Chains A and B, each alone.
Chain A
């Protein structure tokens, strides 16, 4: 497979013969992919992982082999680097892909719930990387809280509501066509939280939905929990940035363009405060997405 004769590794084939892929090489490549499948594993914490990452960088033949293993398993390689490790993600229809139906049971029956869960993930990303530069800057670490995400979406909803009021639009949906209800209303009318018997957040409330998204992303190695303030504080990892930038963002954009919606911005941050937010409902300790 490989024509390279100048191995940088000591254990490589003898320089005279054309390098052939040995079962040991394949095992190492697969091992590296297996490390990539454990997203919470820090490369710096595992010597073997670090070693394999170095080999991937220094040995193009090995790199191609590892890429091939990943592709064959139904994985997409986002980046291989000491900071992100072997950042792989599930390709479409891969056995590794997460399905919304598995993620939250109610979503199958209720399209409103399905939307809320999806929007929670989108809002987490938007608040974790509020400016385009933040998404592009590899060293940027975003911080989000459960209450902060909820407050942020509610503020956006509130502005749409005000706009509709100003234009005199009736945003109440027709009773027999719930699919035509404006998306923001679904979030706005869902309660933010509620008292329960066991002092946990109701799973169907918006903070419950956001908390689920954040916990799930933490399990995916995309976020790290840093505290309990604001309903739970998290910071982003390099993998999350890659995932949002290279996979999720573009996929969602493509879908949006297909719907005929072409968002036009001038490249500057568009996350503006509402001009008149005095009626926006209160979520305690909601703010400070950047302060841990």
Chain B
């Protein structure tokens, strides 16, 4: 995040240029006596101006939609943009940010509602346009710049650049790119969240509980979403602390601070887990008891959010458990290594740290010197004229788009050694397809099977019946089957020339597939 808090600057006269443009400065109030008494006098004004600057790209979207090829004035671009920022904020994950395509997909319904008669492709185009403009794809920095003026301590008027981003792209695993909202966007556009993580988390959950108890589910959902964002923030703090440990064990206080922090975090996880499970139970109750469909829907959404919170806690906990072994491994590697003679240069302390605060003009001299000394050598390319002719006349090598040819797989037909054929199975299944209210004796089924003239069919029927004596209830539940074959032994003995044992009662049980599906999603 390049520029965090909005409160660190003096008086500002602020104007935000449209994306990518950096140098258009409107005429300022010129000449005259100095209007502001001092930097401290209007810090509040400065803060508000900065907040205002962050909203400018959103207004700008509505102003510029007229320039798009096509009739786009029907769309409320600022509304779409705010929705996009909300979506990205809530979909940010522990490891990554929100997925670009997912955000577009979730934005489309809202855009479609604004102009239902327009084609879907256009809705998607609007979503992409808004998202790209929030990232500001056209500029090198992929950010925004506002120009404003301040009075220097000696009373001179200085124009300054304020750079900020709303949505930024971060690298994810496997070279993917994810979206994250910046602090500016969260602070100004999502809500004031710039508070201590732990206390805010507790506050959000207390609030959530109260709201649920009062049945104010709309507010509860808002609070729950904020709580989720805070959970992500908390994980972030810990993740970075662990990472720093990996860089240098001695740089981190492993005697006190870090173990305390890990213990605290584990407590936090345990605590939140309990808490959120309790909330979950409450909301489920609210969901099941309420009659109003709107309440039911909100409660169902809340269940999802809180479940997501629990998932994130579990994720955080597994990372916390890795911390101890990691420290010991690093301790072995770093601290017990034989102390070597110091080369005299601490690259970070002597070079990186002092260079970064320097003004660009000076810093560039140091980095240039490092570059010149640190890149090694390149052997210059020289070409003979004779080779040049050959090189220029050689046709370009055809790129192999399809890769190497696949060898034809050598397939061997496996002999069909099944005891029963598909037809027999079909016949047996048909025979056993009994109405739910009319179970039958195995003896009757066997007699019917024999009447078909296929001597093996009776065996198959008997086997299936015996198998049904222990029906696979769990599988049927998981797969959402609607009916299940079962067999019960009521003590009657089977009188049959080929088979012995009990004359089972074979029947079909109907299952409540819809109810099971609901149960499954809840348990998941």
CA distance A228 to B161 in the complex (A): 37
Give the chain A neighbours of B359 by CB distance below 8 A. Answer: 179-183
Interface: B515 (CB within 8 A): no
Q: Using a Cβ–Cβ cut-off of 8 Å, how many residues does chain B contribute to the interface with A?
A: 105
Give the chain A neighbours of B354 by CB distance below 8 A. Answer: 256, 261, 263
Binds B, one of A6-14, A20-28, A245-253: A245-253
- Expressed in whole angstroms, the minimum distance between the Cβ of A265 and any Cβ of chain B is 4
Give the chain A neighbours of B178 by CB distance below 8 A. Answer: 284
Give the chain B neighbours of A274 by CB distance below 8 A. Answer: 240, 244
Q: Which of A114, A172, A244 meets B161, CB within 8 Å?
A: A172
B350 touches A94 (CB 8 A): no
Binds A, one of B112-120, B371-379, B423-431: B371-379
A278 touches B237 (CB 8 A): yes
Closest B residue by C-beta to A39: B376
Provide 26 A-B residue pairs closer than 8 Å at the C-beta atoms, listed in order of the A residue: A75-B377, A90-B378, A119-B355, A119-B367, A122-B370, A125-B374, A132-B343, A132-B344, A172-B163, A173-B161, A178-B360, A179-B360, A181-B359, A182-B356, A194-B135, A195-B177, A207-B171, A217-B376, A220-B375, A228-B174, A252-B367, A255-B368, A259-B362, A261-B358, A281-B168, A282-B170
Q: Which of B96, B182, B349, B367 meets A271, CB within 8 Å?
A: B349
Give the chain B neighbours of A174 by CB distance below 8 A. Answer: 158-160
Give the chain B neighbours of A100 by CB distance below 8 A. Answer: 368, 371-372
B248 touches A125 (CB 8 A): no
Secondary structure of the B contact surface, majority rule = mixed
Give the chain B neighbours of A279 by CB distance below 8 A. Answer: 1, 4, 183
Q: Which of B2, B159, B251 meets A185, CB within 8 Å?
A: B2
| Most central of A119, A180, A220, A254 by chain B CB within 10 Å | A119
A172 touches B162 (CB 8 A): yes
Task: Give the contacts of A150-170 with B (CB-CB under 8 A).
Answer: 150-153, 155-158, 160-162, 164-165, 168-170
Interface: B351 (CB within 8 A): yes
A284 touches B172 (CB 8 A): yes
Task: Give the contacts of A229-256 with B (CB-CB under 8 A).
Answer: 229, 231, 239, 243-245, 247-256
Binds A, one of B58-66, B137-145, B460-468: B137-145
CA distance A258 to B237 in the complex (A): 39
B333 touches A290 (CB 8 A): yes
Closest B residue by C-beta to A185: B2
Give the chain B neighbours of A249 by CB distance below 8 A. Answer: 343, 345, 347, 350-351, 370, 373
Q: Which of A88, A133, A184, A216 meets B342, CB within 8 Å?
A: A133
Give the chain B neighbours of A133 by CB distance below 8 A. Answer: 337, 339-340, 342
B355 touches A137 (CB 8 A): no
CA distance A238 to B250 in the complex (A): 25
CA distance A161 to B252 in the complex (A): 21
Interface: B247 (CB within 8 A): yes
CA distance A245 to B370 in the complex (A): 11
- Expressed in whole angstroms, the minimum distance between the Cβ of B335 and any Cβ of chain A is 11
What mask results when residues 324 to 367 of chain B are scored 1 for a CB within 8 Å of chain A, else 0?
00000010011001011111111111111111111111111111
Asked, given contacts A96-B378, A135-B343, whether A272 binds B251 with beta carbons under 8 Å apart, the answer is yes
Q: Which of A140, A157, A207 meets B356, CB within 8 Å?
A: A157
A277 touches B240 (CB 8 A): yes
What mask results when residues 86 to 127 of chain A are scored 1 for a CB within 8 Å of chain B, else 0?
001110101111101001000000011011011101110111
Task: Give the contacts of B271-330 with A (CB-CB under 8 A).
Answer: 330
Give the chain B neighbours of A32 by CB distance below 8 A. Answer: none
Q: Which of B2, B160, B175 meets A175, CB within 8 Å?
A: B160
Interface: A2 (CB within 8 A): no
Closest A residue by C-beta to B150: A170
- Expressed in whole angstroms, the minimum distance between the Cβ of A214 and any Cβ of chain B is 12
- Expressed in whole angstroms, the minimum distance between the Cβ of A120 and any Cβ of chain B is 9
Closest A residue by C-beta to B5: A165
Asked, given contacts A89-B377, A123-B352, A259-B358, whether A115 binds B340 with beta carbons under 8 Å apart, the answer is no
Task: Give the contacts of B392-407 with A (CB-CB under 8 A).
Answer: none
B170 touches A193 (CB 8 A): yes
Interface: A47 (CB within 8 A): no
CA distance A164 to B3 in the complex (A): 11
